Structure 1
Amino acid sequence: MVQTVIGVFNSFEDAQRAQSRLETEGIARADMQVHSSNSGATPGLSDDATTRSVTSETAGDRPHEGVVGGIEHFFKRLFGSSDEPEEVGHYHEAVRRGGALLSVDVNDETAVERVRDALYAAGAVNIDSRVAQWRSTGYTGYDRNAPAYTADEIAAERKAFPVVQESLEVGKREVQTGGVRIYSRVTETPVSETVNLREEHATIERKAVDRPATAADLTEGSVEIRETQEQPVVAKTARVVEEVVVGKEASTRTETINDTVRGTEVDVERTAGSEDGSVVPPAKQPPL
Structure 2
Amino acid sequence: MTQAIVGVFDSFDEANRAVERLERAGIARTDIQVHGRDSSAATYDTAAVADRRPEGEGVLASIEHFFSNLFGSNDRPEEIGHYHEAVRRGSALVTVEVANEAQADLVRAELNDAGAVDIDERVAQWKSSGYAGYDPSAREYTADEVAAERKAFPVVREDLSVGKREVQTGGVRVYSRATATPVSETVNLREEHAAIERRPVDRPATAADLKEGFVEIRETTEQPVVSKTARVVEEVVVGKEATERTETIADTVRGTEVEVERVRGEDGTLRPPSTPTKPI
Superposition TM-score, scaled by structure 2 size: 0.66
Q: Give the 3 Å change call, closer, same or farther, for CA 8–259 of structure 1 in structure 2.
A: farther
Does the 8 Å CA contact 1:2/1:107 hold for their aligned counterparts?
A: yes
Q: Give the 3 Å change call, closer, same or farther, for CA 221–237 of structure 1 in structure 2.
A: same
Please name the residue that 2:118 is paired with. Answer: 127
Please name the residue that 2:42 is paired with. Answer: 40
Q: Percent identity?
A: 53
Q: 1: CA distance between counterparts of 2:161 and 2:51? A: 46
Q: Which amino acid in the other structure matches residue 134 of structure 2?
A: R
Superposed CA offset, 1:9-53 (max 9, x none): 112332123313442454432343324477621489xxx838998
Q: Say which of 167, 179, 184 aligns to 1:175.
A: 167
**Structure 1 range deviating more: 2-11 or 256-265:** 2-11
Please name the residue that 2:89 is paired with. Answer: 97
Please name the residue that 2:206 is paired with. Answer: 213
Does the 8 Å CA contact 1:165/1:262 hold for their aligned counterparts?
A: yes
Superposed CA offset, 1:35-92 (max 9, x none): 4477621489xxx83899899x547xxx857745744765x69xxx79x6x9887656
Q: 1: CA distance between counterparts of 2:139 and 2:42? A: 15
Q: CA deviation at 1:5?
A: 5.9
Q: 1: CA distance between counterparts of 2:250 and 2:17? A: 45
Superposed CA offset, 1:245-278 (max 9, x none): 2122334433332212222333344444437xxx
After superposition, residues 1-288 of structure 1 pair within 5 angstroms as 6-24=6-24, 26-36=26-36, 40-42=42-44, 49=49, 57-58=56-57, 67=63, 70-71=66-67, 93-104=85-96, 105=98, 109=102, 112=105, 118-119=110-111, 122=114, 124-127=115-118, 131=122, 134=125, 138=128, 143-145=133-135, 147=138, 149-151=140-142, 152-189=144-181, 191-206=183-198, 208=201, 210=203, 212-214=205-207, 216-274=208-266
Q: 2: CA distance between counterparts of 1:197 and 1:180? A: 50
Q: Give the 3 Å change call, closer, same or farther, for CA 4–54 of structure 1 in structure 2.
A: same
Q: Give the 3 Å change call, closer, same or farther, for CA 141–201 of structure 1 in structure 2.
A: farther
- CA RMSD, 1 decimal: 4.6
Paired residue secondary structure (2:19)? helix
* Structure 2 unaligned blocks of 5 or more: 268-280
Superposition TM-score, scaled by structure 1 size: 0.64
Q: 1: CA distance between counterparts of 2:261 and 2:51? A: 38
Does the 8 Å CA contact 1:8/1:100 hold for their aligned counterparts?
A: yes
Does the 8 Å CA contact 2:187/2:224 hold for their aligned counterparts?
A: yes
Superposed CA offset, 1:134-155 (max 9, x none): 26x8158761337364214223
Paired residue secondary structure (2:49)? coil
**Structure 1 range deviating more: 247-256 or 190-199:** 190-199
* Structure 1 unaligned blocks of 5 or more: 276-288
